[in-house]
Every structure is written in structure tokens, then in C-alpha cells.
Structure 1
Amino acid sequence: MELNLEEGKHIYDECSTLILPALSIGNVGQLAVDLLIASTKAERIGYLDDPNVLPCVGNDAYTPTPQGDLALPLEAYESPSNALTLIQQRSPVVKGMMVEFAKNLADFAVACGKKHIVILSSLDFGRWQTIDMSSGLQIYYLSNAKVDGADDNCEKLGFKRMKEYDPTQKLWKYLNDLAEGNATEEDISSLEDDLGEEDYYPSLPFAAMFSCFKAKGLKVTCLLCYCSEGDNISDAFHLAEAACNLVGQSPESFKGNEGGRWVIPFSWQSVYGPPPDMSLF
């Protein structure tokens, strides 16, 4: 993975926390990163080139009057005033190459001196076993602070530990061995005939990323919410707010925001296409 810096841009040493999405159902992680980039007024410093990500191109996602800047599959943004680096991923990883992609991301994070990695992603609402909406939408987490995935700070913030995480379970253990170089991807063939419901979570992109960042000795926290396909903008707000709480930030502290409000990304105006032609009715 190679970082191609834009002219006159550089990596800020003070941006020691990296926030990025792991693609999943509803694209909530990507939407949350969109919201954070727009609200922190983060500047794009360049783009990442990785052979494991499918190519795509689009118009500027954050500026209403584009200057000819194109949006690319992997972009790096930095907000020095909030000590944050943000990576936005706009296209999926080539099938079967998720672990290689995660390894490349981990190498990039180490090379850039990142200390804390925050992964934002979503889980299938249809697999939620213990539904409790008494306190609103729940944020679940997975951390490498403790062996069982628990983290005292996340507990204080009211997040729920992802109880489905079991480092001794075969697929989680395989991911860990793969990330540490103690297994090969060909070894998965011996597991494929014996995969069950418990293998859903370690089969998702966030699990590969978690394992690879952890293998590099980095502090890593996954923030997750359950959702379904559809309009998940409200979930994105909730996940972005959780990320802010985790890193000690808030919309009120974002430089340049009037009244401490979230800034809606310009691209969201067309996220579900243009409004219907009312003459049809």
C-alpha cells in the first residue's frame, strides 16, 4: 500500500489516532466517516494505492462547488486540530483478499506512527440475538485492551462488549494466526466445510482488520451497530458520535462549526438519488 501525497500536503505527527470504516451491511461505517470528515473540516492529504481494492472514481464528496478534484477508492484525510487521521474507503476489496488488504493497512498505520486505530462498522440486524432497545440504539465494541475483547473505557462510555468474540474459536484463532504469519490463506479450505453460525462475525471485514492491527501491537477498537439495508443515516450519526466520545471529541469542539452542529456531507444530497417527479402524481 502506497500513500500518494497531494502537492504541498504532509502527514501530521500529532494525528496519532486513525479512524476508518470496515465495509459491511448498510455502509454505516462509511457514512459515519463521511460525517466526521465533513464536520472536522479535515483536509485530504492524499490517496492510498492498494491492488486489493476495486477501482472507482467520482466527484468531490464534500465540496458543493467542485474544483475538479476526484474522489478515489481510498483517501486519507487529516484534522490536526482534533489529532485525527481519517481514511475513507469507497469501493470493496477484491474477493478473497481482505486479509492481505488488512495487513497492508496495518503496515501503513505503523509506518505513519499511529497509536490508536478505531474501526467503524455494522452488523446484520437479523442476527441480533438479545434485542434491548430500552436505552436506544446500542453501540457494541471489540478491543484488544484485554484478551476477551473488553475495555474499561468503552464500558464507562456505555458501549456493550461484543460477546460473540471468542479468541479460542476456530475462525477467530485462524485470523489471528494468519495476521501473525503463522498460517496461510490456503489453510482456510480445511475449515470451510465446518463453518457455522458462530463464524459470521469473524468472517466480516472488521474482524480481519482487528486481527491485523492487533498483530502489529497497535491499540485497536472496533465500534459496531446493528442495522438493516436502507436509510441508515441515523445509524451513521450514532456511530460517529460514539467515535467522538471514544477519542474525547465532540461536535462542539470541531473547528469552524457554527453552534457545534454536525456538518452534513454534500454528497448526501443525492445518496438515494433525486427526489421523485411530482408531476407523476
Structure 2
Amino acid sequence: MLQLKVRNSLNLEGYTIIIPSICVGNAAQLACDLLIASKKMRRVGNLMHPALIPIFGPSAYQHDPQERVAACEIYECTANKLIVFQFRTPLISRHSQSLHNYIVELVRPAEKVVILSASFGFEKREIGTSPYEYCVSNSFRENHKTQLANVKWMEFKGNTVFGGGNGLQLYRLLEEKQVPVMLLFRYVLEGDNSTDATLIIRELNDLCSTFLQLEIEDKSIKLIVPVSWKLLFGNDVTSLIF
């Protein structure tokens, strides 16, 4: 169920939707954190569904300190017609298909959907090639063929993105419904994946700068680190235990 804060419906016509897969290292979710913080996006609602483990906590972003986090949040930038989903819990597998179907119906009016994900680094088979792979629907390829021709990413031809969570499943459902959709993932290792998140956003901006509209300083993207990243690995170890 979609819960909105300030309106009765969510009009996604002409919008770009970015959805993170719940993947290895949480790299896609961290990338969405960076995007939300850097563009100071406004939370417009959240999803409630049996597939989502309910949570409630303090704000994740310094630009909106009065907000509280939930299992699935929706952020908007009206100026760029950009919507970002953010997941903060893993999915309950027996309900995940139902959630995917709901999300697909929700975002069908959008102009395009970008799913971000990651895969285990040791699954990369071709050394020396780009650490990114992607797959696109025919309609997305047609709309962005010039940009896609200039990227160095490899096109994914497999059947499974190992460590990629629910990204490929959601991509196939959207493709089936003829929604322009792209799945972009990076090969990563477990650990501190904040750097991977930064690199994912930079790569995506190279393709989609027209709707990301990230501020550029000295030919580099200006990204704002969310306040929630201060405790990515929990509190510091207290000296009292030594």
C-alpha cells in the first residue's frame, strides 16, 4: 500500500524512477542514499507491504532532520522529474513477487525506470573489462541509443546476477510490461561499499546527466555524504572493554 504525505495520488507521467536492488554490500542502496542527499530530495511517501520488514528510525539525511526512516521510502525532485525509491530492509521472500507486481503497476506511467544493483566481484569472468554490466529493454535502448553507444559497460547476457538480489527479477517484469527500463550493476566485494556507491552514481550520471542534474565542481560531481553514513558499521568500540 502506498502512503503519501501531501497528496492523494502519485503522478509519475514523464518521470524517471530509480530503484535500488537489495544486493551485495548494499551498494545500490548506498548509491541511492548519495543521490537523495546530494539533490536534497523530499520524501513524499512510503510503501507498506507484507514483503517489507517494518522499521522506524531517525532521519538518514541532514537536509531533512525531522523525517523518520521506514522500510521503503519514496523521494522526489520535482524540478528534474526524478523519483528515487529507497529500501532499508531485506525482503521476505514468499511475498517478494507480490511486491514486485505492485511496484511494476505503480511505476508503469513513468518515462523510464533505472534499477541499480551489484554482483559479487569474484563472479566477474573477463579481466580488464569494465566493472559495470547492464541490460536494457528495447524501448530504453531506442530512447538512449546515443548515450549507450558511448559507455564502456558490458551488456549482460546471463540469466543470474549473483549477489544482485531482486534487481533482475524486477527488470524482467518491467520489460514484460513494456516499461522502458535499464538494469545497471557493478562488481563489488563485501565490506565498506561507500566508494562503490559513489562510482555507481558517477557512471549513471555519465549516461543520464540530463535528469540527474548533479552539481559539477572542477569537472567532478559534487556529492553529499548522508549523515547516516557516520555509523555504517555501528558505534565505535568502547575503550572500557580493554
TM-score (norm 2): 0.85
**Residues 87 and 65 of structure 1: is their aligned pair in 2 closer, same or farther, counting only changes over 3 Å?**
closer
Structure 1 equivalent of residue 111 of structure 2: 115
Deviation of 1:95 after TM superposition, in Å, equals 1.7
CA RMSD of aligned residues (A): 3.0
Structure 2 equivalent of residue 145 of structure 1: 138
Structure 1 equivalent of residue 154 of structure 2: 160
Structure 2 equivalent of residue 178 of structure 1: none
Give 1:199-214 correspondences, 5 Å limit. Answer: 199=160, 201=162, 204-214=165-175
**Residues 200 and 237 of structure 1: is their aligned pair in 2 closer, same or farther, counting only changes over 3 Å?**
closer
- Tell me, what secondary structure is at the counterpart of 1:120? strand
C-alpha deviations, 1:183-232, integer Å up to 9, x for none? xxxxxxxxxxxxxxxx5659841111001111221000011001111001
Paired amino acid for 2:215: E
Deviation of 1:119 after TM superposition, in Å, equals 0.4
Structure 1 equivalent of residue 82 of structure 2: 84
**Residues 31 and 230 of structure 1: is their aligned pair in 2 closer, same or farther, counting only changes over 3 Å?**
same
Structure 2 equivalent of residue 33 of structure 1: 32
Bigger radius of gyration:
1
**Residues 65 and 240 of structure 1: is their aligned pair in 2 closer, same or farther, counting only changes over 3 Å?**
closer
Q: Are 2:185 and 1:224 aligned?
A: yes
Deviation of 1:8 after TM superposition, in Å, equals 5.8
Q: Percent identity?
A: 26
**Residues 29 and 272 of structure 1: is their aligned pair in 2 closer, same or farther, counting only changes over 3 Å?**
same
d(CA) in 2 for partners of 1:131, 1:114: 37
- Tell me, what secondary structure is at the counterpart of 1:246? helix
d(CA) in 1 for partners of 2:162, 2:237: 38
Paired amino acid for 2:107: A
**Residues 13 and 64 of structure 1: is their aligned pair in 2 closer, same or farther, counting only changes over 3 Å?**
closer
d(CA) in 1 for partners of 2:194, 2:161: 24
d(CA) in 2 for partners of 1:20, 1:65: 21
**Residues 267 and 277 of structure 1: is their aligned pair in 2 closer, same or farther, counting only changes over 3 Å?**
same
Structure 2, unaligned runs of 5 or more: none
d(CA) in 2 for partners of 1:61, 1:202: 25
**8 A Cα contact 1:40 1:82, kept in partner:** no
Deviation of 1:82 after TM superposition, in Å, equals 2.2
Give 1:1-281 correspondences, 5 Å limit. Answer: 2-7=1-6, 11=10, 16-63=15-62, 66-67=65-66, 69-110=67-108, 113-132=109-128, 138-145=131-138, 152=145, 153-165=147-159, 199=160, 201=162, 204-248=165-209, 249-252=212-215, 261-277=222-238
TM-score (norm 1): 0.74
d(CA) in 2 for partners of 1:262, 1:14: 27
- Tell me, what secondary structure is at the counterpart of 2:178? coil
